[in-house]
């Protein structure tokens, strides 16, 4: 129990596939609930305007964006190093 008010520490969340159809909602909800949120995305500067706007809205909400790929072991290790929870929103 926390003493002296609501001082609960929020979990640090990583969403793999954070810019995808489901992942974008998970990232937005996590950030809205005040969790330090990181999204692992394939491309930090997509040519798709809508995806670029989505990533900018994440940045504006304080989400950390990391470029990486499920098949790149080093990028996955880097991404999970400083989080408490990993949520995979990947699909094919």
Give the domain 21-88 fold.
Rossmann fold (3.40.50)
pLDDT on residue 70: 85
Q: d(Cα 36, Cα 42) in Å, to the nearest integer?
A: 20
pLDDT in tens, 28-64: 999 999 999 999 999 999 999 999 999 999 999 999 9
Whether the predicted model's global pTM rises above the 0.75 cut: yes
Q: d(Cα 61, Cα 41) in Å, to the nearest integer?
A: 16
Query: Where along the chain do its domains lie?
Result: 21-88
Q: d(Cα 16, Cα 85) in Å, to the nearest integer?
A: 11
């Amino acid at each position: 129990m926390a003493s002296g008010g609501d001082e609960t520490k929020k979990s640090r969340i990583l969403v793999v596939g954070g810019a995808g159809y489901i992942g974008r909602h998970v990232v937005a909800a996590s950030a809205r609930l005040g969790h330090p949120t990181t999204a692992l995305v394939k491309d930090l500067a997509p040519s798709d305007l809508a995806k670029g706007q989505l990533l900018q809205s994440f940045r504006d909400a304080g989400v950390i964006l990391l470029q990486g790929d499920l098949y790149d072991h080093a990028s996955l290790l880097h991404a999970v190093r400083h989080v408490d929870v990993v949520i995979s929103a990947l699909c094919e």
